[in-house]
Amino acid sequence: MRQALAEAGAAPATGDVPVGAVVLGPDGTVLGRGRNEREATGDPTAHAEVLAVRQAAKHLGEWRLTGCTLVVTLEPCTMCAGAAVLARLDRVVYGAIDEKAGAAGSLWDVIRDRRLNHRPEVIHGVLAEECGGLLTSFFRESDFRPHRPVG
């Protein structure tokens, strides 16, 4: 989680919300890293988890991340939860819950939905206060306004 927090800490430099993620291989090796880059890139799918999963798949040379763990500072949204399922990750570990958009147990539980053919293990609350504090500080100290084109 400390590595994911380091990624999250770098996101505000580009105007992005501080969320960070890493994908660990079965032996604990970091296979992929990501931080939110939606504001930096203008890509609505540039969430930390998606970027880390993409990098891990590229590193392994395949889309199946069997045996791997996604570690993320904030509970995944529906898109990221779906990516975790589709990538066949073994587990998802997250810090802070996301009561507004969380899809790994709080608002929804996409990851463990029994109707899906793959259900990663979910471990939540790892360094939750530190992860949540980073987000709280960001929103309190910034005048964060997502870029919205005029017109």
Catalytic residue among 7, 37, 39, 49: 49
Q: Which residue ranges make up the annotated binding site for Zn(2+)?
A: 47, 77, 80
What's the CA gap between 109 and 118, in Å, rounded?
Answer: 13
Q: Which residue ranges make up the annotated binding site?
A: 47, 77, 80
What is the full DSSP assignment across 11-36?
GGGGT----EEEEE-TTS-EEEEEE-
Cα–Cα distances (Å) from 114 to 76, 85, 118, 119, 145, in that order, read 18, 12, 8, 7, 37
Q: Is 74 helix (H, G, I), strand (E, B) or coil?
A: strand
Asked if 7 is an active-site residue, the reply is no
Active site residues: 49
